[in-house]
Homo-oligomer: A and B are copies of this chain.
Amino acid sequence: MTVRFKGKAPSRRAFLKGTLASTAGAIAGAGAASAATPDPLITEKQSWAMGTGDGVDATPYGLPIQYEGDVIRRNVEWLTADTISSINFSPIHALDGTITPQGCAFERHHSGAIELKKEDYRLMINGLVDQELIFTYEDLERFPRVNKTFFLECAANTGMEWAGAQLNGAQFTHGMIHNMEYTGVSLRTLLEEAGLGKAGDLKDKWIYVEGADASSNGRSIPMEKALDDVMIAFKANGEALRKEHGYPVRLVVPGWEGNMWVKWLRRIEVTDQAVESREETSKYTDTLENGTSRKWTWVMDAKSVVTSPSPQSPIKHGHGPLVITGLAWSGRGAITRVDVSKDGGKTWETARLANPGQPMALTRFYLDTTWTGEEMLLQSRAMDETGYVQPTKHMLREVRGENSIYHNNCIQTWWVKANGEAENVEVS
């Protein structure tokens, strides 16, 4: 559009004085992109100069502005019996880029979020090690550090959707995920400090990790993974872990289910077998059609979801340019490609990755398209560097039946209606 001013265009000087006259612009056709909105707000009553604002010295640690009050973690009340064992979902429908701020990053706790002071923190390494060790927080800070960005996804993410379209919003269907830059010490460094000579052949050895909260949340991890890329992390996105993310120290198990990323980490035992704890037998196993269960299904397979438009992020603007965006990730490596379908999987367009995929980290994708008001069955389909392609729900059910809770990485469908609103649906 062309913006027209009453009379001649004001000089910059006049403009700065706040004397800008009301615009009388009109849309000059359905023209280029979307920059074509007549602007009733720019009137003689309202200049664009806002006057002075507050000094922000009173908020040495800032929170989001009041207008973003809906971009928060949310709970699904019926998912857990009590908030002592709760799940708080990331508002992925309202975020962009790849980093999740700690303040609104998904968190799940099994017996509350405990408050553990650095001074009181201890980490024990025991079991089949040459020297059993206890580390203080300060000890941990004296080992060589690494920095890496990884996604954490709960194995139960999208779990409610096995039975059909249940939860209406990307935050609830796919929000058990976050992506942060971790700083910490390689677990390999600490295990080598303790010495693994006593463990003998490492191929069939395990570690058992547990947290300092009442649940302990103990998990077994094969030694091969423990010596590969597991981290003892004390910072996320540059600052200390938040209480609900395991302050002061949590385990980071890249690409593997979030339950293994033990928070408030207090002990690592080197063992000659898996412990078969509650968290890896009655929970975090995948019951199949015939009643038997898969176990040791640690890796989070390639997955993606359109975050906008979506039920919590409807299309509010008119026809014309539309940005479709979402997230993709794989526990097996980097995302190499994401396709988007508008017709429930009949035809696909390859989306643009905002940046090249990084191993076991969220990848942002965009499809810059035009919407003329047609209904859409929006889907996204991720591919990773192993060649794996995200399956449909139908394909997944054929293999695993409908008894599962965990590891649902199927293609998600949003039905976008002519009015721009979207609904969680299932396509056959």
- What is A's interface to B at a CB cutoff of 8 Å? 1-3, 9, 12, 15-16, 23, 25, 32-37, 39, 41-42, 48-57, 59-68, 71-75, 82-84, 86, 88, 94-104, 107, 109, 111-118, 120, 122, 124, 126, 131-136, 138-139, 141-148, 181-183, 190, 193-194, 208, 210, 212-214, 216, 234-235, 237-240, 242-244, 247, 264, 266-267, 269, 275, 316-317, 320-323, 325, 352, 354-355, 364, 366, 368
Contacts and interface: CB of A to CB of B under 8 A. Distances in A.
Contacts of A354: 145-147
Contacts of A39: 122, 134, 136
B135 A35 contact: yes
Nearest to A127: B12
Given A42-B122, A96-B145, A237 B237 contact: yes
B67 A122 contact: no
A37 B134 contact: yes
A163 B144 CA distance: 36
Nearest to A110: B52
Contacts of A355: 147-148
A212 B52 CA distance: 10
A250 B2 CA distance: 24
Nearest to A247: B65
Contacts of A208: 12
A324 to B, nearest CB: 11
Contacts of A126: 3, 9
Contacts of A317: 138-139, 141-142
Contacts of A49: 212-214, 216
B243 A62 contact: yes
A213 B144 CA distance: 45
Contact of A193 (B9, B33, B48, B102): B33
Nearest to A363: B147
A303 B354 CA distance: 28
Contact of A144 (B3, B61, B316, B366): B366
B61 A63 contact: yes
Given A2-B131, A96-B235, A136-B37, A240 B124 contact: no
Contact of A67 (B88, B117, B323, B325): B117
A62 B143 contact: no
A56, A59, A124, most chain B CB atoms within 10 A? A56
A73 B83 CA distance: 32
Nearest to A354: B147
A217 to B, nearest CB: 11
B141 A3 contact: no
A122 B48 contact: yes
Nearest to A16: B216
A134 B9 CA distance: 14
A193 B55 contact: no
A202 to B, nearest CB: 19
A56 B107 contact: yes
B134 A65 contact: no
Nearest to A308: B141
7 contacts: A50-B214, A61-B64, A64-B239, A65-B242, A71-B239, A103-B103, A139-B317
